[in-house]
Amino acid sequence: MAKVLIVEDEPDLSDPIRAFLTHEHHLVEVVDNGLEALERLRFYKFDVIILDWMLPGLQGVEVCKQYRASGGSTPILMLTARRQTQEKVLALDAGADDYLTKPFDVYEVSARVRALLRRPAAVSSNLLKVRNIVLETSTFRVTRNDEEVQLLPKEFALLEFLMRHPNQVFSAEALLDRVWASDSEASPETIRTYVKRLRQKIDTNGQPSIISTVHGVGYKLES
Ligand code: CA
């Protein structure tokens, strides 16, 4: 079973998709405008998002961008009436994983959803574990040696990103791009501060830090 969010304002389109996916034992929720979609995604975790381009409130492509900028990693299937290559490129660049052009068949929607669910577990998993640290995205919990660690939302987001990309080095600028909102006023100094605070909260005394500094380059989380 997958938890699917459909963002579509036309019931003529969302109803058949909802019915078909529900019949396939998925848990399906529908919202009918872009702002509500972002709100829902901020508080709840889905396995796949089916996102229409034309939406009241906020266009689908903007929803996609803002969701990715806030660290959201759930696969997105974009629905579009636009056949031009440029629009498809815009959708993919905004962070969509796939797109379908209207009109489409519910069988095809279902097949695309299955394909997106086959993505590597490391990308879509709710539970991340590195050494003695466990991070659960669905409940916003982090534990060290089974004891809960209290993190601020941004500390959590930074740790989640690093845990999803273990042993890869990221510059402070790259972390700002990937973890902070695009209109954020944060600077590389912000990243240094957050890394320092994260180390204080999650490292084990007497052991090397789980987040190492690669001098002149950036940071990486050692698995
Ligand atoms: Ca629409």
Domain with residue 102: its CATH number is 3.40.50.2300
Same domain, 90 and 17: yes
Same domain, 64 and 134: no
Q: What CATH number does residue 203 fall under?
A: 1.10.10.10
Same domain, 88 and 133: no
pLDDT of residue 182: 62
State the residue range of the domain holding 81. 3-122
Q: Of 69, 91, 122, at which residue does a domain stop?
A: 122
pLDDT of residue 69: 79
Give me ligand 1 centre to Cα 131, in Å: 45
124-145: pLDDT as tens digits:
556 788 889 999 877 789 999 9
pLDDT of residue 120: 61
Give me ligand 1 centre to Cα 132, in Å: 45
Instruction: Tell me which residue of 189, 163, 188, 166 sits closest to 177, measured CA to CA.
Output: 188
Q: Of 93, 122, 151, at which residue does a domain stop?
A: 122
pTM, to two decimals: 0.56
Note residues around ion ligand 1 (Cβ under 5 angstroms).
9, 52, 54
Give me ligand 1 centre to Cα 53, in Å: 6
Give me ligand 1 centre to Cα 32, in Å: 8
67-95: pLDDT as tens digits:
987 878 899 999 988 777 788 888 888 88
Residue 142 main-chain phi, psi, to 5 deg: -125, 135
Q: Of 74, 101, 122, at which residue does a domain stop?
A: 122
Same domain, 60 and 108: yes
Same domain, 129 and 187: yes
Give me ligand 1 centre to Cα 10, in Å: 6
DSSP H stretches of helix in 31-105: 34-43, 60-69, 85-93
* Residues with pLDDT less than 50, the chain: 121-123
Count of C-beta atoms within a 10 Å radius of residue 120: 7
Give me ligand 1 centre to Cα 15, in Å: 13
Same domain, 109 and 144: no
Give me ligand 1 centre to Cα 169, in Å: 40
Same domain, 114 and 20: yes
Count of domains forming the chain: 2
Same domain, 148 and 116: no
C-alpha angle 15-20-23 in degrees, rounded to nearest 5 = 125
Question: Which H/E stretch holds residue 191?
Answer: helix 188-202
Same domain, 83 and 27: yes
Same domain, 67 and 153: no
Q: How many CA atoms lie within 13 A of 76 on its CB side?
A: 27
Same domain, 106 and 167: no
Same domain, 18 and 106: yes
